[in-house]
């Protein structure tokens, strides 16, 4: 699945298409937020600035939850080196909906990931060359500053560190 929030960098969209072609993937399900939910909660597209938790809820959490209906398990790309809540990430866990969540890269280091990508001729995300160590939605991602943790460029200046798809599924409300 590919979660297109409607706020992704153009580079991310091209990268996804490039990887799909390179790897010969035939069944990529592109998941989008509900137009009705966005019209009601984010009519001008600036909810990310006033309430990033609610923005992530409508653009990421709800769409992914719906897309995962009918699946007993799912696989993530989270890694412990990303720090924060991910620092103690297990390789297998059960999410709040009872699905098995597999984190096969949990114990990989950033060097392991780079070596794997190089040895398998996989391109890095194009924004990596511009200093982005973690890439999410364009308004909430920035290039990292030397010495920062890998996800410090996400939701910069806010206490937020995760979008919510890997956290409790309690609904987020407008504040």
Question: What's the pLDDT tens digit per position in 148-167?
Answer: 888 888 988 898 888 888 88
pLDDT at 97 over 70: yes
Specify if 7 maps to a domain: yes
Q: Where are the alpha helices (DSSP H) in 2-160?
A: 10-22, 35-41, 47-50, 52-56, 62-68, 110-119
Residue 169 has a pLDDT of 58
145 belongs to a structural domain = no
The proportion of the chain whose per-residue pLDDT surpasses 90, expressed as a percent, equals: 77
Residue 83 lies in a domain: no
Using CA atoms of 30, 28, 72, 122 in order, give the dihedral in degrees to the nearest 10.
Answer: -110
Domain of 34 in residue numbering reads as: 2-71+109-140
What's the domain count of the chain? Answer: 1
Q: Which of 55, 137, 140, 163 is catalytic?
A: 163
In a domain, 50, yes or no: yes
Q: How confident is the model at residue 109 (pLDDT cuts 50, 70, 90)?
A: very high
**Average pLDDT, stretch 12-34?**
96
CATH number of the domain encompassing residue 132: 3.40.50.620
Tens-digit pLDDT profile for residues 25-61: 999 999 999 999 999 999 999 999 999 999 999 999 9
55 is known as an active-site residue: no
Conformation bin of residue 45: beta by default, left when phi > 0, alpha when psi is -120 to 50: left
- The reported pTM is 0.89
Is pLDDT of 173 > 60? no
- Does some domain include residue 36? yes
Instruction: Answer whether residue 78 is part of any domain.
Output: no
């Amino acid at each position: 699945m590919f979660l297109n929030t409607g706020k992704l960098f153009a580079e991310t969209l091209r990268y996804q298409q490039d990887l799909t072609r390179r790897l010969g993937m035939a069944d990529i399900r592109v998941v989008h937020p509900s137009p009705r939910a966005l019209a009601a909660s984010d009519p001008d597209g600036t909810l990310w600035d006033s309430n990033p938790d609610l923005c992530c809820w409508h653009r990421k959490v709800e769409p992914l939850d719906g897309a995962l209906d009918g699946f007993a398990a799912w696989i993530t790309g989270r890694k412990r080196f990303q720090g924060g809540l991910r620092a103690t990430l297990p390789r297998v866990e059960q999410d709040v909906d009872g699905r098995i969540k597999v984190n096969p890269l949990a114990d990989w280091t950033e060097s392991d990931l780079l070596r794997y990508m190089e040895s398998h001729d996989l391109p890095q995300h194009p924004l990596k060359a511009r200093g982005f160590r973690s890439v999410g939605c364009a308004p909430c991602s920035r290039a990292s500053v030397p010495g920062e943790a890998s996800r410090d460029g996400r939701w910069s200046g806010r206490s937020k560190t995760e979008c919510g798809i890997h956290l409790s599924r309690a609904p987020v409300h407008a504040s």
